[in-house]
Amino acid sequence: MKYLIEHYFEDFKVESIKVIGSGYDSVAYLVNGEYIFKTKFSANKKKGYEKEKAIYDFLNQRLNTNIKIPNVKYSYFSDDISILGYKEIKGTFLTPEIYFALSKEKQELLKQDIAMFLRQMHDLDYSEISLYTIDNKQNVLEEYQLLKDTTYDSLTDIEKQYVEDFMQRLHSTTIFDGKKCLCHNDFSCNHLLLDDENRLCGVIDFGDSGIIDEYCDFIYLLEDSEEEIGVSFGEDILRLYGNIDISKAKEYQDVVEQYYPIETIVYGIKNNRPDFIEKGRKEIYIRTRKDEKLRK
Q: How sure is the predictor about 9, in pLDDT bands with cuts at 50, 70 and 90?
A: very high
Residue range 226-250, pLDDT digits in tens: 999 999 999 999 999 999 999 999 9
Tell me: pLDDT of 294 over 80: no
Could you give the percent of the chain with pLDDT greater than 90?
A: 92
* 19-28 own/partner pairs: CB under 8 Å, 24+ apart: 24/267, 24/271, 26/207, 27/1
Tell me: pLDDT of 24 over 80: no
Cα separation of 162 and 287, whole Å? 9
Residue range 128-151, pLDDT digits in tens: 999 999 999 999 999 999 999 999
Q: Which of 25, 113, 165, 186 is catalytic?
A: 186
Q: How sure is the predictor about 44, in pLDDT bands with cuts at 50, 70 and 90?
A: low
**Is 25 noted as a catalytic residue in this protein?**
no
Measured over the CA atoms of residue 282, residue 287, residue 288 and residue 294, the dihedral's sign is: positive
Phi-psi map region of 242: left, alpha, beta (phi>0 left; psi -120 to 50 alpha) = left
pLDDT recorded at residue 295: 74
Q: Mean pLDDT, the chain, as a whole number? A: 95
Question: What angle is formed at CA 277 by the lines to CA 273 and CA 281, rounded to 5 degrees?
Answer: 165
Domain boundaries, the chain: 10-87, 92-295
Residue range 160-176, pLDDT digits in tens: 999 999 999 999 999 99
Q: How sure is the predictor about 265, in pLDDT bands with cuts at 50, 70 and 90?
A: very high
pLDDT recorded at residue 45: 52
Tell me: pLDDT of 181 over 60: yes
Residue range 51-90, pLDDT digits in tens: 999 999 999 999 999 999 999 999 999 888 899 999 999 9
10-87 and 92-295 agree in CATH topology = no
Cα separation of 197 and 189, whole Å? 17
Tell me: pLDDT of 42 over 80: no
Cβ atoms of residues 252 and 215 within 8 Å: yes
pLDDT recorded at residue 167: 98
More confident residue, 294 or 296: 294
| CATH (one of 2.170.260.10, 3.90.1200.10, 3.30.9.90, 3.10.20.30) for 92-295 | 3.90.1200.10
The model's pTM is: 0.96
pLDDT recorded at residue 47: 55
Query: What's domain 10-87's architecture?
Result: 2-Layer Sandwich (3.30)
Cα separation of 262 and 146, whole Å? 11
Cα separation of 115 and 217, whole Å? 10
